[in-house]
Amino acid sequence: MGHPVTLAGLAAAGLVLALAGPFGTDGVALTTRLAYWPLLVVATYGAAALVNTTLAPVTRARPFWQDVVLTGLVAGAVVAIIVLAVNRAAFGIWPDRDDLPGFLGTLVAITLVVNAVVALGSRHGPTARDATGPPPILQRLPLDKRAPLVALSVEDHYVRIRTLKGEEMVLMRLADAMREVGDTPGAQVHRSHWVGFGQVRAARRDGDRALLTMAKGPEIPVSRANLPKIKEAGLLPR
């Protein structure tokens, strides 16, 4: 929410909506719209961002489109509650029983679209892989722990960043941490783990999954769905 691009986008969206006066607000005074729409934009975007962050541990292992739809539907419900509450407080209005389903459906649909656009932008926009030099994620570590990446592991809302010189807990999402590994060869091998292929010392099958022995730290499990990744990397026989 504090990123300059996010703030600029929210300000622009709030201003455009205030000037355009959509959804019947064109009959409201401009000064009121200039307060109403920016407030609504920040509140709903912030709520949707919070929903995405909260659901990340559950949805990160799902296919991309399922992640987008699930978080979009939940965020849409939260956004609908916020809009209804703000409209009630600001204007004293509430949709009629016949209009309520369409009103809620419109809010959820808009939230789904915005959520999908933001997710696609995060997935396909410029990332740390475009950068040269050491992986950007190392900038989050103390100088004495900056070394080749071994693994990234999720623990609650933190990511344990493990290098050959130690490890550090950082408050962030695994998806965001993986975007900062730069050109380090590796892959997410489990819903909670990313590994650097160059730091794998041994790999063995364990039922329908696998276990990786790393250059430093404990073994990393590989889920069945991610076995093709380590086979492709030559760490297990095809």
- 17-63 pLDDT, tens digit each: 999 999 888 888 999 999 999 999 999 999 998 998 888 767 765 67
Question: How far apart (Å, rounded) are the C-alpha atoms in residues 209 and 176?
Answer: 25
| pLDDT value, residue 123 | 59
Tracing tokens 């344990």 back to the chain, one arrives at 160
Does the structure show a pLDDT above 70 at 176? yes
Question: How far apart (Å, rounded) are the C-alpha atoms in residues 47 and 71?
Answer: 11
Task: Compute CA distances 201 → 122, 185, 192, 209, whole Å.
Answer: 32, 15, 20, 17
Question: How far apart (Å, rounded) are the C-alpha atoms in residues 60 and 40?
Answer: 28
pLDDT band at 80; cut points 50, 70, 90 = very high
Give the domains, in start order, of the chain with CATH numbers. 4-125 (no CATH), 130-232 (2.40.50.1020)
Q: Is 209 helix (H, G, I), strand (E, B) or coil?
A: strand
Question: How far apart (Å, rounded) are the C-alpha atoms in residues 150 and 121?
Answer: 28
Phi, psi for residue 231 in degrees, rounded to 5: -70, -40
Query: What is the pTM (predicted TM-score) of this model?
Result: 0.53
Question: How far apart (Å, rounded) are the C-alpha atoms in residues 141 and 118?
Answer: 28
Q: Are 212 and 219 in contact (CB under 8 A)?
A: yes
Phi, psi for residue 160 in degrees, rounded to 5: -85, 115
For residue 194 the two structure tokens come to 């990313």
Cα–Cα nearest to 180, from 125, 131, 134, 135: 135
Q: Are 74 and 51 in contact (CB under 8 A)?
A: yes
CA-based R_g, the chain, Å: 22
Question: How far apart (Å, rounded) are the C-alpha atoms in residues 115 and 120?
Answer: 9
Question: How far apart (Å, rounded) are the C-alpha atoms in residues 36 and 29?
Answer: 10
- 183-209 pLDDT, tens digit each: 899 999 999 999 999 999 999 998 889
Q: Is 46 helix (H, G, I), strand (E, B) or coil?
A: helix
